[in-house]
Structure 1
Amino acid sequence: MKLPQATLIAAASVCLAGLAQAETLDVSLPKAVQLALAKNFRIKVEEFSPKIAKAREVSSTGKFDPVLEASYTYSQSEQELRTLSNNLIDPVSLPGGEDPSLFARSTGQEADISIAGLTPTGLTYDIGPSLTINDNTQRDPQYTSYNTFLGFSVTQPLLKNFGTDVNLASVRVARADQAISQWQLRQQVMDVVTDTITTYTELYFSIENLGVEERSRGLSAQLVQDNEKRAEIGVMSPLDVMQAKADLAAREERVLVAEREVKNNENFLKQLVTDEISGLLDTDVEVSQPVLPDVGDINRKRDIARAFELRPDYRQLLLSIQKRQINVVFTRNQSLPQLDLTGSLGLNGIDTNFLSSVQRASGANGSNRNTAWDIGAIFSLPIPNREARGDLEVAKLQSLQALVDLKRLEQAIIVEADNAAGEIDTTRKRIEASRVAREFAQMTLDAAQARLSSGTSTTFEVLQFQRDFATAQVNELRARADFIIAVARYARLTGSTLERNRIILD
């Protein structure tokens, strides 16, 4: 069925309108925080860190895994008989040549399999059997020998590389790094939540500020119209009209700036609470007035004490100090001389066939058991050992540096928390003071406009009172926004952001 052209045009218009219509994200402040926790890319990126740290911890323990080793070697050698003694027999002609030379050939095969590894005390071990097969034409008669060996060898450091403090150092560092990664994730979540509260509040403030500027522009435009009418009937000079128009142009510029601020904050909030890429700029955000948080009386001493328990940067620094101390122990050990005790013990058997060689090695069928063992020591000491001594000095200084840095952070936490608490008190008082100032500014403007209508005031005074009223409105909005932001900042500085917003990390 063929549709009328008008119907097609109407349908196309509806489709285009639907495509052009932007998606609207209507969120309250608590919902914005929930969206940020679920969709923020900064949190998603940081969530990989604990998993990576866990994998590195597993990797650090891998050096204690036993290693299965197997090898096979085949060898062959040939020697011209003219260079050997005359008692060699069974010469074989070399291929090629009319006057072949005589030579003797010997072949060998060697196969072994073993399990080797390292223990936390520093002991290394190697356990397993080996088999060597030799064919020799230089003996009379020609024979094949089988050499079977079963044994183990160990090396135990007594000074350098001895003990669990050294050999488990990398494992303990990896565990500390994993704990640090958990605190880093907590820090990132706290930062994102704080940024979301701040940006949401700033967006609401910028929207309200835009409304104030638009109303102020409206008052200025109305004053221009009133002055033009008064000038037409001769009760006002053209200068007053020009003055009002100049002020209107200035307020128009303030509206443009306020509009840009709204758009910027809207983009910042979308970046925090969405994971959109292509459709990010096509999404509009609608926010509601954030509720003033109920703070009550602030207990600075209690909150500062909790900050030492909950602030991620403080906990990370404590773990970093732990890593420094592990490094001091490790480098101190590495500065010692190397003194290793070595030893091996095994059973071997040699015969003309494999089974007989195994029986000789094991002492089966009444054969004598052939044992082989050795014990020894290895000593090594660089003179004057400057590298190890320098590394130890660096490790000690870095550990002391971290302790001083801890004191610096403790002092900073106390100052930051106290200042943030003071900011809450100040902004709470500013809310009431700015409200009173706004009410008086409203009454003053109303009185000035009434006097202007009666001819007892001037355009300059009315414009000034309009600006004062707009400033008072903005100051009240700013005080409310600053109070919400101050509470969020105080929670972050005392490490209680998650608890205050009832957020539990897995």
Structure 2
Amino acid sequence: MQVILCSTLIVGTLIPAQDPEPGAPHQLAELLLAGPRSKGAHSMDLTLDAAVDLALRTNLGLRKAVLEEQAARHDHLGSWGAFAWDLTGWASYGENKAPGSNSFEASVIDSTTAIANMSLLRPLASGGSFSLNFNTMNQTTNSAFAVGSDFNRSNLGVTFVQPLRRGAWEEYATATQRERRLDWVTAGETRRGERHALIESVHNAYWDLVAAREQWQVAASSLRLGLELLAKRNREWQAGVGTEVEVLQAEAETATRVEALLLAENDLESRADELKLILLDEGEHVLWDRNLLPTTGLPQTVSAEGVGDWADAFVTALDQRSDLRLQRMAVERVGVTLVRARSEQLSGVDLELQANSDGQSESASDAVEDTLGWDFPGWSAKLTWNMPIGNVSATRAALAAETRLKIAHLEYDRLEMAALAEVRGAVRDLLYRTEAVRAAVSSLALAERQFEAEQLRYDEGLSTNYQVLEFQRDFVQARRNERQARVEYVKARTRLLAAQGVLDGWTDKQ
């Protein structure tokens, strides 16, 4: 009786026991039942797809990932500039005076020298290089021992250099380019992972908001049932067929339901703020003043059709999960480092082939013509060998790369096992949630029938008000459970798609 009286104080003047007006609601109860009291002046209908689209357009983390992918692409394309042609030219002019060395020469020897040089170099993807060099020189002097007072000489040289061991061949020469390509692909996969995680966050926040609104509606319906029962007990008491204790019991129960509705409203606004936080960008704050109304409802029918065996889902996860893809790229990148380190362990053997043509004459044009005509050719071949004593740095670098490659493989195995467990759990959870919804629907139907039957028993004098309230509480709880079961079902479907890495609908074929 003390508990009942204390609960009555909570209700205050909710519905005075002496008030003959049936169902006259308390001002707070009337306000609560009118709808969630959001401070926003406007409401905003929002579907799940619209929420995802808005997040993809405005999320700062995703925009940052897109820019990082673009920067990595530029780095990759720019790295191939290492194999571009390089043109170099230079020219020099000098004058010199020297004393004559004997009586046959002038006392002062005057000379001028003008040189022009042009070279073209092309690094090769084989690790070698190809170069073309043209040089022309003009010299004038008053020396009696010079070939002529005006002397011109030209030279054209073609050189090919190719490492045969250390630093040789394409796998080593293009290691930097492959690293930049992996950086680009990694940035793209990171962006995809950010996108996938963002979509999952929106889905979960959206369904949490839907769940909160469903629970608010259940709490509001429960309060209405409580008010109806309270009004009925008031009428019975006024008619002399009820007792004051029954009225006090109904008032206490109604007060409890008012409190439950207040809690549901607070949770509803909290869930709405969580979704808004994901959808907002740095310059858009209007959503804070909007009352979000989720319009994508819970599914009326549930099914595990298409789920299949966990092994099939795991095959998809192996191909599509971003964490596994990123780790495979990490393994490949360490492999590139190992290739470079092993090459640098080898001794250096470089082959150099050179061909040249010379021309000289008192006439500059004749000297150039002789050179380009290949009138006086020459060639040479050179093989260079070198080996650092001990080669400690390269040896240790190769051992370190081998160790890091083992670490990368172990990390991939760890991620794969974690993905396997997650997929198995997601498949199992979806199957469970499907059956849980069906069980909750059955429980709700039974609870409603029990409540109605108990109400009829009370009307016939075969039950007590306390028992009616108990069955009414069970009925309300069954409604809560049924709504929550549907929410958990759709979230379980989201978890399975996320565990497979296909929540955003992305596949390699797309």
Same fold by TM-score, threshold 0.5 exceeded?
yes
Mean CA deviation greater in 401-410 or 238-247: 238-247
The structural deviation recorded for 1:39 is: 5.8
Shift in CA distance, 165/241, structure 1 to aligned 2, threshold 3 Å: closer
Q: Secondary structure at the match of 2:495?
A: helix
Residue 77 of structure 2 is aligned to residue 69 of structure 1: no
Report the Cα distance in structure 1 between the residues aligned to 2:216 and 2:390, rounded to whole angstroms: 74
CA contact (8 A) 2:347 2:387 kept: yes
Q: Given the alignment, which residue of 113, 127, 134 partners 1:122?
A: 127
Look up the match of 1:485: 491
Report if aligned partners of 1:114, 1:127 keep a CA contact under 8 Å in 2. yes
1:285 aligns with 2:304: no
Contact 1:115 1:128 in 2 (8 A): yes
Offset at 1:35?
A: 5.1
Q: Are 1:201 and 2:207 an aligned pair?
A: yes
| Correspondence 1:390 to 2:400 | no
Residue number among 18, 42, 55 corresponding to 2:74 in the alignment: 55
1:197 maps to amino acid: H
Change (3 A) 1:203 1:312: same
**CA contact under 8 A between 2:127 and 2:173: conserved in structure 1?**
yes
What is the one-letter code of the residue matched to 1:296? E
Question: Per-residue CA shift, 1:433-479, capped at 9, x if unaligned?
Answer: 222333444456567778899797467x7776665444332221111
Task: Give the superposition deviation at 1:129.
Answer: 0.9
Asked whether the 8 Å contact 2:273–2:288 carries over to 1, the reply is no
Tell me the equivalent position of 1:159. Answer: 165
1:89 alignment partner in structure 2: 106
Q: Counterparts of 1:169 and 1:89 in 2: how far apart (Å)?
A: 62
- The counterpart of 1:424, out of the listed 424, 430, 436, is 430
TM normalised by structure 1 equals 0.76
Aligned counterparts of 1:264 and 1:504: Cα–Cα separation in 2: 35
* 1:263-316 CA-partner distances (Å, limit 9, x unpaired): 224415634xx8972433344432221335643163222222233233333333
Counterpart position of 1:99? none
Contact 2:451 2:475 (C-alpha < 8 Å) held by counterparts: yes
In the alignment, the residues of structure 1 paired with residue 473 and residue 283 of structure 2 have an alpha-carbon distance, to the nearest angstrom, of 40
Aligned to 1:433: 439
Inter-partner Cα distance in structure 1 for 2:56 and 2:302: 20
**Mapped contact 1:148–1:358 kept (Cα < 8 A):** yes
2-structure distance, mates of 1:448, 1:87: 141
Q: Which residue number in structure 1 is paired with residue 26 of structure 2?
A: none
**2:325 is equivalent to residue 315 of structure 1:** yes
3-state secondary structure, aligned to 1:68: strand
What is the rounded CA distance, in whole Å, between the counterparts of 2:235 and 2:107 in structure 1?
A: 136
Matched-pair contact (CA < 8 Å) for 2:75–2:180: yes
Query: Structure 1 residues 337, 438: closer, same or farther in 2, change over 3 A?
Result: same
TM-score by length of 2: 0.76
1:236-274 alpha-carbon deviations (Å, 9 max, x no partner): 399869955863674365145323334224415634xx8
Equivalent residue for 1:101?
none
**Secondary structure at the counterpart of residue 89 of structure 1:** coil
Aligned partner (choices 252, 259, 274) of residue 268 of structure 2? 259
Give the Å deviation of 1:122: 1.5
**Long gaps (5+) in structure 1:** 1-19, 92-103
**What is the identity, as a one-letter code, of the residue corresponding to 1:334?**
E
- CA gap 1:73/1:472 in 2 versus in 1, 3 angstroms: farther
Does the residue aligned with 2:287 lie in a helix, a strand or coil? coil
Pick closer, same or farther for the CA change 1:123–1:148 going to 2, 3 Å: same
Question: 1:152 corresponds to which letter in structure 2?
Answer: V
Corresponding letter in the other structure for 2:435: K
Kindly report which structure 2 residues correspond to 1:445-464, keeping only aligned pairs within 5 A, or say none.
457=464
Q: How many residues align?
A: 464
- Give, in whole Å, the separation in 2 of the partners of 1:215 and 1:36: 33
- Partners of 1:395 and 1:293 lie apart in 2 by 52
Q: Counterpart of 2:113 in structure 1: which amino acid?
A: G
Superposition deviation, residue 222 in structure 1: 6.9
Q: Which residue of 2 aligns with 1:112?
A: 117
Q: Is the 8 A contact 2:223 2:254 kept in 1?
A: no
Structure 1 residues 235 and 70, CA gap change in structure 2 (3 angstroms) = same
SS at match of 1:120: coil
In 2, the alpha carbon distance for the partners of 1:107 and 1:202 equals 89
Distance 1:230 1:384 in 2: 104
The SS at the match of 1:236 is helix
Shift of 1:158: 1.5
Change (3 A) 1:225 1:202: same
Letter in 2 for 1:200: Y
One-letter code of the match for 1:313?
D
Report the residue type matching 2:270 in the other structure.
E
Q: Matches of residues 176-255 of structure 1 in structure 2 within 5 Å?
A: 176-217=182-223, 235-236=244-245, 247=256, 250-251=259-260, 253-255=262-264
> What is the one-letter code of the residue matched to 2:307?
I
Q: Taking every aligned residue pair, what percent have the same amino acid on both sides?
A: 19
1:400 matched to 2:406: yes
Cα 1:425–1:206 change in 2 (3 A) is same
Given that 1:230 and 1:236 are in contact with CA atoms closer than 8 Å, whether structure 2 keeps it comes out as: no
